[in-house]
Structure 1
Amino acid sequence: MVKKPFTVDLDKPLVFQVGHLGEAYDKWVHQPVVSKECPRFFGNDFCELLTRTKWWVIPLVWLPVVCWFVSTSIQRGLAPTQAASAVAGGVFIWTLIEYSLHRFLFHMKTTSYWGNTLHFLLHGCHHKHPMDRLRLVFPPAATAILCVPVWSLFKLFSTPSTTPALFAGGLLGYVIYDCTHYYLHHGKPSVGLSQTLKRYHLNHHFRVQSKGFGITSSIWDHVFGTHPAMRATGKSR
């Protein structure tokens, strides 16, 4: 008897279903469901709540942290102009981190049950349901976990007085990224840079998912040869 391929029931909690797709997961997750409805991830209400974050939580939580790290560098003897330069450097470094995470972690290929499940939670859910308002930004707890290796990296390559301001810049870059990402999906830019970025990002979602990994900038796509050939997507929303 030929075994029927597994089919995900979109009317039931998704997370513990997607692992059963196996090798079919990558194709399935890149067939978007364009709806503003928020799909159910978990049967447990508390776990479900942890997956949902409003966009304004990101600046509310992290901008005070950015300010605290900058003030720490100044207290350690860094001049305000030096702190500002370190923050700017951190923002620039973030653009490379943003690109690298999106390309190599968020778009890694998985086929195992737990690989598919974790990938869906990390980024696959966003490609499957790109208009889900409550899962467009990272929950603060997940961001805090990712901050640990970033802080350790900055600490390794900079001085004790510079590290906090440099890290603050990276964190500020993240806040800009998450808010920009939300706006590109749910804002309605009509002209200028924001319209270009929206078109660029929708091209990544609906046409060429293997290119166009930059969100706030396409600079690293140009550098590493992943800049897609652009055309109108017809998907602007």
Structure 2
Amino acid sequence: MVAQDFIVDLNKPLVFQVGHLGEAYQEWVHQPIVSKEGPRFFESDFWEFLTRTVWWAVPLIWLPVVCWCISMSIRMGHSLPQISLMVVSGIFIWTLLEYTLHRFLFHIETKSYWGNTIHYLLHGCHHKHPMDGLRLVFPPTATAVLCLPFWNLVQLMSTPSITPALFGGGLLGYVIYDVTHYYLHHGQPSSEVPRNLKKYHLNHHFRIQNQGFGITSSLWDKVFGTLPQSKAAKKSR
């Protein structure tokens, strides 16, 4: 059976099936299944457990780390105004990293067996099953692994006393991002700003999946020209 003829069995663990789709994977993964019941990824209960994360685990685990990092810079002699600037700068850096990862890594086009498999684990599963509430936030084990290169990146950009607070700000940006992402899928916002943000993000999932990469804001989509046009703007052309 050639790759284009392969059919994924949704009643079986998916991760080691999707690679067989080959070039057909991109079309398959961008046809969402709207169900709150997520698929099974692995036969192994252990590996399956690692792929499922409740949203509140993100602030519960990482906010204490944020506070500890900020306290390190305070103990090194920085004032509260200086700390505030470092934290805000860290959040700003995170927003650019959020956009960059989403656009250039999470939406990379793959067609090889392992390329499809890795992409599905990273982000493809979210586009295929966008309402899976246990796979909307990043698993803490994966976040912990990614913290090391992010810490090293911050070290290159700053001094030893600034690094902890700047890193803490970036980590706080990540927490805001992941909690916001969950809310945009499962929350029911009543005020205008979050309601527009929800509409903006769901537009990325269900209408124009190669634009609108911002989650917490549309800032970098505006800067880099990936802001989707509204339906009204298209009709007027």
Q: Same fold (TM over 0.5)?
A: yes
Aligned length: 232
Q: Within 5 A, what are the aligned runs for 1:24-63?
A: 24-63=24-63
Please tell me whether the aligned partners of residues 50 and 139 of structure 2 are also in contact (alpha carbons under 8 angstroms).
yes
| Displacement after TM superposition at 1:157 (Å) | 1.2
Please tell me whether the aligned partners of residues 4 and 22 of structure 2 are also in contact (alpha carbons under 8 angstroms).
no
Q: Say whether residues 1:143 and 2:152 are aligned partners.
A: no
Please tell me whether the aligned partners of residues 66 and 172 of structure 2 are also in contact (alpha carbons under 8 angstroms).
yes
Change (3 A) 1:24 1:149: same
Please tell me whether the aligned partners of residues 211 and 228 of structure 2 are also in contact (alpha carbons under 8 angstroms).
yes
Q: Within 5 A, what are the aligned runs for 1:59-74?
A: 59-74=59-74
Q: Within 5 A, what are the aligned runs for 1:97-116?
A: 97-116=97-116
Q: Distance in 1 between matches of 2:151 and 2:182?
A: 25
Q: Deviations over 1:120-172 (max 9, x none)?
A: 00000000000000000000110111111111111011011111000000000
Seq. identity, %: 70
Structure 1 partner of 2:15: 15
Q: Deviations over 1:6-57 (max 9, x none)?
A: 0000011000000000000011000000001121000111111110000000
Structure 2 partner of 1:211: 211
Q: Distance in 1 between matches of 2:230 and 2:204?
A: 10
| Displacement after TM superposition at 1:3 (Å) | 8.1
CA RMSD of aligned residues (A): 1.4
- TM-score normalised per structure 1: 0.95
| Displacement after TM superposition at 1:2 (Å) | 8.1
Please tell me whether the aligned partners of residues 3 and 24 of structure 2 are also in contact (alpha carbons under 8 angstroms).
no
| Displacement after TM superposition at 1:190 (Å) | 2.7
Structure 2 partner of 1:193: 193
| Displacement after TM superposition at 1:230 (Å) | 2.3
Between stretches 141-150 and 65-74, larger displacement belongs to 141-150
| Displacement after TM superposition at 1:179 (Å) | 0.2
Q: Deviations over 1:164-194 (max 9, x none)?
A: 0000000000000000000000001133110
Structure 1 partner of 2:78: 78
Please tell me whether the aligned partners of residues 203 and 230 of structure 1 are also in contact (alpha carbons under 8 angstroms).
no
Q: Deviations over 1:184-207 (max 9, x none)?
A: 000011331100100000000000
Letter in 2 for 1:153: L
Please tell me whether the aligned partners of residues 32 and 128 of structure 1 are also in contact (alpha carbons under 8 angstroms).
yes
- TM-score normalised per structure 2: 0.95
Change (3 A) 1:20 1:75: same
Letter in 1 for 2:135: R
